[in-house]
A and B are shown apart, each in its own frame.
Chain A
Amino acid sequence: MRVLVVEDDGVLRGQLVSTLEAAGYAVDSADNGIDAQHLGTTGSYDAVLLDLGLPRLDGLSVLRNWRAVGRTMPVLILTARDSWHEKVAGIDAGADDYLAKPFHVEELLARLRALIRRAGGHASAELVCGPLCLDTRNGRASVAGQVLALTSHEYRVLAYLMHHQGEVVSRSDLVEHIYAQDFDRDSNTIEVFIARLRKKLPPGLIETIRGLGYRLGAPR
């Protein structure tokens, strides 16, 4: 799961990035509206944390511009401006949730998980595929109750596949969503992660669709 953090305060941005990385997300960040607009328009993100009071271009305009060019990723506005007037303006500009500063980290993570889940059409915090179960609240994957030991990259690949169960996910999709932007990307590593996951999972869960990518689904 790849998340964009847009926040102009350096210390807070650093805290958000490390908190989100610790929670298993790949994180990009921007400290002004112009960069944020560029990143959000060109990159694939599973969610965006957006501050409203940004230098160069304000957050609401950034959000409207994203929506105008058809970017539909869930956006959580994270701002000090917490009057209902501003909340309504934020939601009407296309935001999916609104969290006022100061906030509790747990609440931020819970809302972010819920946003990503809802965007994938999942109602529950636990994603289930046959014997495999992924609890997004604590980042734990288990097979028939046995907790799996996963590296962070393995977890990101598995979580992305779980959120898109039954869909064909291309290798480039996976690259887009498990790496932060400034990471040295190599699509060959995806095959390595998939191979490792297959060893840890019951056979037949991850299917290779030749030439297209992978599909996660309960074996028939």
Chain B
Amino acid sequence: MTAMPARGSLRLRLLAGTLFGVAALIVVAGWGLDNLFREHVARQFRAELATHLDQLTAHLVVDEGGRPKLSAALSDPRFSRPDSGLYWQIDPADETGAGGALRSRSLWDDVLGVPADVAADGTVHEHRLDGPGGIPLCALERRVHFEDTPDSPGGHFRLIVAADERLMAEPVARFRGALWIALGLLSAGLGLAALIQVIVGLAPLRQLRIALARVHEGSAQRLEGEFPAEVMPLIDDFNSVLARNAEVVERARTQAGNLAHALKTPLSVLANASAGREDELAALVRAQVAAAQRHVQSHLARAKAAAAASLPGARTALRPVVDGLLRTMHRLHAARSLDLVAGPIGDSLVFRGEEQDLQEMLGNLLDNACKWARSRVEISAGIDSGAGGTSLLITIDDDGCGIPASQRDAVLRRGVRADERIPGSGLGLSIADDLAQLYGGRLLLGDSPLGGLRARLRLPAASPAGALGGS
């Protein structure tokens, strides 16, 4: 199985999308709120100034000399505190231009320099002025006109109320600080929520990956577990593909077996008919029957194995297979009273593959060992954790005559028999080797400490049941 390059991470995509959206919305909301508040503060500020201006207008009287005068002091005490930031001033609106005729105590010695524009009587103007010490002021101006009366000459006056702009900026700055802290906390919270959502939302995918790993690793035959409605159809499809696969393998097996049966009975008839006759035809029939038998057997073994090796999820505990085979060997070789000894084989030794294939490999090796052994056959097994993953290492020793090193390669080839003295097809070792290679394993022949042949079978191991998290 080759891994395809991943096209981005679903988790990253979801997370990036959510965080980008949250950030954009937070910025827009912050900017909007900030503006709204600033405008609100400015409006209130101006309304306050207008109130002061109204009060100033109400209190303004003109004395007999035509000079403006206040009938009462303005109510806000800041007008009488020097440099308080809140000021008023009344200028005569004639060409003399002498400003600052009447002004609040807060202005002290300063005079507000009002631009000399002309506005209609009664309207209110807004100005930006430089106040005492050059600080920027926001000022409202109203022009009023007193009619001449018997008591006073009347006249035009400019009434100005001004306030330090910092009085307005300060609450805005305070609000802005609080606003951005709140929005910062909000976006952090939303980001965290998005992260949790992505992790929780995508958890079934991780579960799916674990389930798939179990199938691949051989500890499950199908994808197990409950999945969300969005994923479930996929799981069901996948499971039906797996089931169909298993069914096809099983059918191939059955057909292979049927073919064997169908061919072997006529072969037996031919072999029996030729038995005990010495003519040329009988010899030809015997030779061809033997050849046909070898072909049938080797192709059957390969067909079965090819079908089996591609089936995912198969796992077979070693111990029961060895036990069954030893029972069988005892019976089949009962006449020879061999010692068949199995070393300790733990339950943790599990072959990643089909039971029938394991039986075929070990059966052929054990049978071969029993045929040649003088008195003793030993089988032992262990785990070998090499660079290429964990593998099972099964060793079968006999005390027979062994196979010379020069012939070991030859006996692994199809149908080559090192010795014709004992009946057999000459396929046993090569079938075991073929099967092992289909599973990515190997069969190695060597010298046994018992004096005969040592066959070492290396096969892929599966982790013992339940070792891989979950149910």
Contact = CB atoms under 8 A, between A and B. Distances in A.
B267 A118 contact: no
Contacts of B363: 83-84, 87-88
Given A19-B272, A118-B335, A83 B327 contact: no
A102 B359 contact: no
A16 B272 CA distance: 8
Classify chain B: how many residues form its interface, as a range.
35 or more
Contacts of A102: 264, 267-268, 270-271, 289, 293
Given A9-B265, A11-B269, A105-B275, A81 B260 contact: yes
Interface in A64-108: 79-85, 87-88, 91-92, 95-98, 100-107
A88 B271 contact: no
A101 B356 contact: no
Contacts of B273: 15
Interface string B60-73: 00000000000000
Contacts of A92: 324, 327-328
Contacts of A84: 325, 328, 356, 359-360, 362-364, 367
Interface string B246-263: 000000000001001111
A121 B110 CA distance: 139
B334 interface: yes
Nearest to A78: B268
Contacts of A16: 272
Most-contacted residue by chain B among A81, A92, A104 (CB, 10 A): A104
Interface in A83-142: 83-85, 87-88, 91-92, 95-98, 100-107, 114, 118
Given A88-B324, A92-B324, A92-B327, A81 B261 contact: yes
A80 B360 contact: no
A189 B210 CA distance: 78
Contacts of B272: 12, 15-16, 19, 105
A91 B271 contact: no
B331 interface: yes
Interface of B: 257, 260-265, 267-273, 275-276, 289, 293, 297, 304, 324-325, 327-328, 331-332, 334-335, 355-356, 359-360, 362-364, 367, 423
Interface of A: 9, 11-12, 15-16, 19, 53, 79-85, 87-88, 91-92, 95-98, 100-107, 114, 118
